[in-house]
Structure 1
């Protein structure tokens, strides 16, 4: 077997970042673009591909402390041409959506933040509801405030424009839970609808303009008569309502007999996480979503669904969850069309799945597992756990099978089939959070789980697992194995030894037959985060919070090597290149590649902005995936071979160019040789060429230098700064400076301040020296002129 090629370079092939960190979400009228609030920007997402196609606003800062102008909220015009963003600084900014260009910015003149932004139907008027109890209307053509409407108390929660019999109205509600309606022409309050007892989160006007529907966190829908302002219906929903959408006059609802006699249909969603459709006039619930992928709120009054968007062009619902997921459902049958993950928070673990490694399972700060298709990064949410999922594991014995463990004290097995994953088994005997899980490697025989209760459980796997039912696993063996919580479990490639890592600063080896202790690995000064077996040698690797990686011999439990280089906890380590190298990830945000023979760090890769929690590598080891606390999912590619080929190509090109330079020098073609010498970074040759040209008095030097590109001119000026420090070479340096002086003065060429200061300092020194020499020459001439010849008679 030929020795493996050692790896040297990994480069990020794809980086998946957050595009929705909370706040407002808007769909364009055709339903092809999604605008999502993301810290200092509004991200534009292509709905079909799920790819961020652009953004509006300033580039977000990597340091949260330096973010000084967060987007508080934004609004999209009805014609999809303009976007207005409200910022923490109190500014309103008007953007062109097609070009992502800032058109205008002005002060909001609210005494506090702008909470709600709404465009009028013709997109000419903008309404801003603030935290100062005022509602302001703006003429967007002149960017002037035309109305300052009062009457609502507290922070505005909703604002709606409405036209009734050619009279323009605007409605708004705040912390007093009363809906106010102003006649825009007269600025007078014409409607005051009192009936809710909590924040009003939804407000719609019926298509016939005769009714108003409102929803609130007080768990009721109210139908109002527009003309009189009376309550016609108060419908209890028994859940806090966060979103309300008016549906078209004629709709087809799955499994419901819909009557169209002046009915008012609305869709609502709230703390239970599912969408419901009501005929408000008849106070009749027509539909309840059964296939919701959003978990109900953990506590009463909590958040599950935060927004509900209906797009008429595509006949789809977009349901926005409190976990920053956006799920699209077809209205016809409410089937899930697409799932977009706006923000993963911390990525805790991940595994690559499938025989062809087509999918990626990711555990984040969520109850749901995110299953990505690696070809297009489409996502599926796997619902089952009732608390945060903290660990995942897969097995080479069955690439479609993986396990998850959670803070709900349980472990679940999932199986991949036809691009979807199904829960096929579960185990729920632990008395505390299950933080580690692992499979047998050689055959599909058993699965292990480790918990905060310090116990290790070995579960027997059924011979066959069905996608149609979830079986309950039985514990074959259980044992208390550590003094503190178990962080990770690893199984040897031959399935005979089990290794556990714990916060008690030790890692232990156990027999897979009866869980008898084979040995304890002691030496780390802090808790051990991970443990891993080599696929080739009888060694095991541990990583710890003491920032060290240790390699241990299984035979005598001795520490063979200690790798030091991380500045914080080493979260995980993997053997690669048939056990000759190690990949490690740390709390310092670094991915490091080590050579075990020399114990040296070959390379460090810094592309994460926080702690790296998870790493997974493909079978061929040409691709690896990392995830961390910065919510970034980075897919890396091994480019060692490409880098070496590139280096060989560059060396060949350099050799060819050096030969060309030698030929030009021999042919006395100095001016053409000058540019080539600069390209090859040969300052001594450049100096020799310039000296020879000046010495021979050849013309064409200024023209040749001025024809250089800016990069080559900067290189030449760097050489000039070095030559100018020596009086022997100051003349050619000054000749070059005089040629390029016009470019520098007129700003056509930007030179580093450091280089300019060096040139100026030594130029002044040379000028002073030459001035003194010139003065000395004049004194000599003067002395010669005043000297008179003397005769012998005058000699004293």
Structure 2
């Protein structure tokens, strides 16, 4: 066995979902986002690109589905002091932003779920729009319903509160596509009719002269706010989901526009780009050219779901239907930050860059997410037209990686010196889904791919420079390799042999020169998910849906070992520690560490809540990254040495304390000895000390016990419950209970339920036993008394 065997990996970080759809709010300082995520509202720090806190508690099942009280909608107060959220259970909750505590909750009286909430500028009044065709006004001080406003139909789609001339106005729209305006007394003031599909956003100009509305009927309408008349109807030719009123002073890229006399808005919709309009002049001024958000695939589909603006940073926030978020500078439209809110299932991952500075991630999406590991900044790579199934990087040129997709294409990408990523090649590789690919191990001269159509192909790569220039990839060999889908391919360390794993339960070895077969590895009872060559030995490792891993000899194609331990399909595996160990990931959500010599599991790590589809091992094997169906990326670190040092330190401390305990007992310092024995978790020594104290008198024990701290008394109660089960040690246990009774009755000490459930039946049993013994004693005494006169007569008549 390797002298430096890896034994323990621990998660150092988890990149998980923080936005699963719904509302998004941006704090006034531009530093944080509040994102709706199941039963929680996540607080995302934009500098760190990850959540740093949350409102509410996550409560999820193993498969990642929420089992808690989901947030339906929420809003942030104008002063950023508190958040009001509506929940699936019908509750409203107020959360304080400073300490993330719930300061108040109360029951909604809507007949059905709440769809929208809004706050007045001063935060004193809240409006809630339900699915019951009503809008309700609430006094947040007393949490009482002030008014019920009727007039809209169906589900409330937009809800706004504005303060005009010291009067609070409520603006709302529902399924009937009309806009209603009420005052805080409940009187309906205006109705705006003109849309023919649900309204998605409503804006009111700062001078309260105009109202602007957008909808899925592909128009934006400018209204006279006082008369309710339409001024302009602007055709958008796309469904609009988000709209913001631009500040008066703004520089539009490439256009010198004076913000005088016009009303300028930015819109985002199904075309996936931001457009700037002068709604008064009915002119389109700018269309974003550098958008990385794909256009909606269906006619009535959604691409952009939210569009926000932050005045402190002069930036847009664009939220896509795939739960990605993009922060863009308003002057240049350059991307300042890209965030991935939810990845769905992680299908494959690979390190990219010299020193493994980046991580490429393939998910249930046509886009590839690339994270910079130092700060978790992300880039989203577009190009594929269907899900990306596999990724692979070149060891010879670590800044180059490839992606394979259901769109039958393979794309080559290059990480440039400025951290941007360029597509340097794209080609149709197979007639069906490309399921796997692998670069050469020794060079960047070729790569191998496998597909759903059971074909195996070898691709010749020209010399790749470092400037990201396009290259031409040639197919030099190919054949039908299996009877069913190919799930995985691998290349030997010397670039001489190719292996392919298939759903037909076999793994095949091929001579790279002409793709001639070298042999077939048979033995798995179900499909083979992946295959890996050992970096040092002439063996290959296969992972199968039959829950086993197998080690095969390349020379004679025999199965050397079978590793059993997973309870579901083994999907990925890798050699570690110079080939002495294996790490495997399975459909049971487990990561297992194996010893190849003993074919036994060393450690099992359970941190995923679903299938583990992806596994990447760092060059130095000190870190692993796994990804799975739970939308999580878990970063693991080898902490074997740290744990061994910690264990050695604990053993040394234990030896010193045990010596100290022996010294205290010798010096007859029973109180200190009792405290130390409790801290060392030595019940037998504690019992001996208690008995010694009892021998000196009951009051001595009570005085000693009273000097213990609450945590020591709680630990002592645990020992007492165990001693009380034995008639030989029940007496000291009962004496201790009596000594602790004053603390229990005063509430200074809490008796845990499981200890109470143990104490009561055994105490009753001991009491009954002692009662019986006492009766026996009295019976003996009674017999002795009856026998006493006879004994006297015998004595008097004696010889």
State TM-score, norm by structure 1.
0.96
Number of matched pairs: 794
* SS of corresponding position for 2:775: helix
1:468 CA displacement: 4.7
1:336 CA displacement: 0.4
| Mapping for residues 218-617 of structure 1, pairs under 5 Å | 218-418=217-417, 419-465=419-465, 467-617=467-617
Q: Output one character per residue of 1:65-120: Cα deviation in whole Å (capped at 9) or x when no partner.
A: 67242111111111211211111111111222222222222222111111111112
8 A contact 1:41–1:60 mirrored in 2: no
Structure 1 CA distance, aligned partners of 2:637 and 2:11?
A: 6
1:740 CA displacement: 1.8
1:3 CA displacement: 4.8
* SS of corresponding position for 2:390: strand
Structure 1 CA distance, aligned partners of 2:649 and 2:545?
A: 43
Q: 1:66 to 1:229 in 2, by over 3 A?
A: closer
1:711 CA displacement: 4.3
What corresponds to 1:719 in structure 2?
719
8 A contact 1:315–1:330 mirrored in 2: yes
Q: 1:461 to 1:200 in 2, by over 3 A?
A: same
Structure 2 CA distance, aligned partners of 1:677 and 1:207?
A: 73
1:135 CA displacement: 1.2
What corresponds to 2:28 in structure 1?
29
Structure 1 CA distance, aligned partners of 2:106 and 2:597?
A: 63
Structure 1 CA distance, aligned partners of 2:754 and 2:144?
A: 48
Q: 1:561 to 1:466 in 2, by over 3 A?
A: same
8 A contact 1:615–1:626 mirrored in 2: yes
Structure 2 CA distance, aligned partners of 1:728 and 1:192?
A: 86
Q: 1:257 to 1:488 in 2, by over 3 A?
A: same
Structure 2 CA distance, aligned partners of 1:792 and 1:700?
A: 48
8 A contact 1:671–1:701 mirrored in 2: no
8 A contact 2:694–2:700 mirrored in 1: no
What corresponds to 1:649 in structure 2?
649
* SS of corresponding position for 2:676: helix
Q: 1:39 to 1:557 in 2, by over 3 A?
A: same
Structure 2 CA distance, aligned partners of 1:710 and 1:505?
A: 62
Q: Output one character per residue of 1:648-670: Cα deviation in whole Å (capped at 9) or x when no partner.
A: 11211222222222223333333
> Is the deviation greater in 297-306 or in 742-751?
742-751
Structure 1 CA distance, aligned partners of 2:611 and 2:310?
A: 39
- For structure 2, the 5+ residue unaligned runs are none
8 A contact 2:158–2:172 mirrored in 1: yes
Q: 1:521 to 1:709 in 2, by over 3 A?
A: farther
Q: 1:220 to 1:743 in 2, by over 3 A?
A: same
Q: Output one character per residue of 1:21-69: Cα deviation in whole Å (capped at 9) or x when no partner.
A: 1100011222222110010011111222223222112333345667242
> Is the deviation greater in 647-656 or in 580-589?
647-656
Q: 1:756 to 1:514 in 2, by over 3 A?
A: same
Structure 2 CA distance, aligned partners of 1:613 and 1:440?
A: 22
1:523 CA displacement: 1.0
Structure 1 CA distance, aligned partners of 2:593 and 2:176?
A: 60
Structure 1 CA distance, aligned partners of 2:684 and 2:315?
A: 69
Q: 1:519 to 1:738 in 2, by over 3 A?
A: same
Structure 2 CA distance, aligned partners of 1:446 and 1:201?
A: 51
What corresponds to 1:61 in structure 2?
60
8 A contact 1:426–1:470 mirrored in 2: no
* SS of corresponding position for 1:654: helix
Q: Output one character per residue of 1:728-786: Cα deviation in whole Å (capped at 9) or x when no partner.
A: 33322222222122333444334444433333333333333333333343444445555
| Mapping for residues 122-141 of structure 1, pairs under 5 Å | 122-141=122-141
Q: 1:219 to 1:470 in 2, by over 3 A?
A: farther
Structure 1 CA distance, aligned partners of 2:346 and 2:312?
A: 35
> Is the deviation greater in 683-692 or in 297-306?
683-692
8 A contact 1:4–1:578 mirrored in 2: no
> Is the deviation greater in 375-384 or in 489-498?
375-384
8 A contact 2:120–2:163 mirrored in 1: no
What corresponds to 1:183 in structure 2?
183
What corresponds to 1:688 in structure 2?
688
Q: 1:769 to 1:535 in 2, by over 3 A?
A: same
* SS of corresponding position for 1:663: helix
1:737 matched to 2:737 = yes
8 A contact 2:38–2:66 mirrored in 1: no
Structure 1 CA distance, aligned partners of 2:715 and 2:259?
A: 78
Structure 2 CA distance, aligned partners of 1:775 and 1:292?
A: 93
Q: 1:472 to 1:272 in 2, by over 3 A?
A: farther
8 A contact 1:424–1:466 mirrored in 2: no
> Is the deviation greater in 168-177 or in 328-337?
168-177
> Is the deviation greater in 782-791 or in 218-227?
782-791
Structure 2 CA distance, aligned partners of 1:736 and 1:167?
A: 70
Structure 2 CA distance, aligned partners of 1:288 and 1:463?
A: 38
Q: 1:144 to 1:3 in 2, by over 3 A?
A: closer
1:621 CA displacement: 0.5
Q: 1:792 to 1:473 in 2, by over 3 A?
A: closer
- For structure 1, the 5+ residue unaligned runs are none
Structure 1 CA distance, aligned partners of 2:157 and 2:21?
A: 16
> Is the deviation greater in 275-284 or in 217-226?
217-226
What corresponds to 1:153 in structure 2?
153
> Is the deviation greater in 51-60 or in 743-752?
743-752
1:248 CA displacement: 1.2
Structure 2 CA distance, aligned partners of 1:65 and 1:616?
A: 26
What corresponds to 1:120 in structure 2?
120
1:350 CA displacement: 0.7
* SS of corresponding position for 1:399: coil
Q: 1:772 to 1:165 in 2, by over 3 A?
A: closer
> Is the deviation greater in 624-633 or in 694-703?
694-703
Q: 1:382 to 1:706 in 2, by over 3 A?
A: farther
* SS of corresponding position for 2:141: coil
8 A contact 2:218–2:236 mirrored in 1: yes
Structure 2 CA distance, aligned partners of 1:12 and 1:633?
A: 10
What corresponds to 2:110 in structure 1?
110
Q: 1:65 to 1:11 in 2, by over 3 A?
A: closer
1:132 CA displacement: 0.9
